[in-house]
Amino acid sequence: MPTPDGELDAHVVLPESGSGPGIVVLQEIFGVGDYIKEAADRLAGLGYVALAPDLYWRIEPGIALGHDEAELGRAFKVSQRLDQSLAVRDSVDALNTLRGLPEVADAGGKAGVLGFCLGGTLAFGVAIESDPDVAVCYYGAGIPGMLDRGDRIACPTLFHFGGADPYIAREQADAVCAFADSRRGLECHVQPDAGHAFDNHESPMFYQPEPAARAWEITREFLARTLPV
């Protein structure tokens, strides 16, 4: 995938039909590993062309860390080296690349962005800085501090948070929901019993299947309504 600074790798999954609208899948702090690839598979199962760019490529291409406590500290250290403004730019480049793929272009050229954790914050940044057709942001810790730029968002946007998230205070999640409630096309959902990264089935310390299933059903319905296949 081309960027102004060089090429980076991206994992692409096609739907059974071979074409459809596109969704850029933005990674957690662990990199593009099995969990992000499975999320791309899920989206392809809904009929989307999914593309997950390696946003750590400037640090160390291909990083895919384990999702246990032993690797969590390393993941935090790697993520702290990430220039988030450049990561947003790379994500915008990924969106443009995805729209240009024949499998997406031939289906109308529409594409959105969906991110988890770090990727949730970056997805919000893409919605601010660019023109995705939709944005889905799972528990992005940086989102509350970016609300002052949120008026620039012009696409339908969905936010997910856990009501018991130790990394994102409930007051911060509520502030994002209040922001969403005040604007047309934005939705915010809090799973009261969920902590952080509750969708990540690769991580026993985070995964919570019931809130994950509820949130995914909301995501599926939102995408079907705002980016129909």
From the candidates 90, 93, 117, 133, which is the catalytic residue?
A: 117
Alpha-carbon gap, residue 179 to 139, rounded angstroms: 15
Active site annotation includes 117 = yes
- Rounded Cα distance between 67 and 37, Å, is 14
Q: Quick check: 50 and 22 in contact, CB under 8 A? A: yes
Cα distances (angstroms) measured from residue 145 to each of 109, 125, 140, 153:
32, 11, 10, 15
On the CB side of 131, CA atoms within 13 Å amount to 4
Say whether 201 is catalytic.
Answer: no
Q: Of these residues, 133, 165, 188, 199, which one is catalytic?
A: 165
**165 included as an active-site residue:** yes
- Do β-strands 186-191 and 157-162 pair in parallel, antiparallel, or remain unpaired? parallel
> So which residues are the catalytic ones?
117, 165, 196
